[in-house]
Amino acid sequence: MRQVVVFDAADLGAESAFWAGLLGGRVFSDDTWHSVVDAAGEWRIGVQLAPGHVPPDWPDGAPQQVHLDLHVEDARAAHEQATALGARLLQPAADLGSEEGHQVYADPAGHPFCIGWGHPSKESLAAFVARSS
């Protein structure tokens, strides 16, 4: 079984290029569907044509249905990359230089996502799961 997050978007090119740029991948496309595949060949994001797509107004308006959390080592570099690719900052962190935090963004189609830092590493999480099993 494979799990892939799929975003609806009126502009397939802008949406898929954004996620490919942020995740370091490539876009495979047809007229109504784009797949974002990372450098390791893993399918990471799907983008489906939805001509009438209306983005959520989150965090202060109509709630979203789903959002991604991207955990990074360098929050400033991730912020620069995301905004250069077309993200809009929706909710800034109190201190981008703090040990732990997150900022809320919208991708080009308006889907919200967070960039977080200082959270447990993949190894720490795996150790926690192993201890808790």
Rounded Cα–Cα distance for residues 29 and 12 (Å): 9
69-114 pLDDT per residue, tens: 888 999 999 999 999 999 999 999 999 889 999 999 999 999 888 8
pTM exceeds 0.75 for this model: no
Region 119-133: mean pLDDT is 71
Rounded Cα–Cα distance for residues 10 and 54 (Å): 9
Contacts of 50 (CB under 8 A, 6+ apart): 8, 9, 10
Q: What sign does the CA torsion over 75, 79, 108, 30 have? A: negative
- Domains of the chain, start order: 1-51 (3.30.720.120), 65-133 (3.10.180.10)
Quote the distance between the C-alpha of residue 112 and its chain's center. 8
Token pair 């981008």 is at which residue?
96
26-35 pLDDT per residue, tens: 999 999 999 9
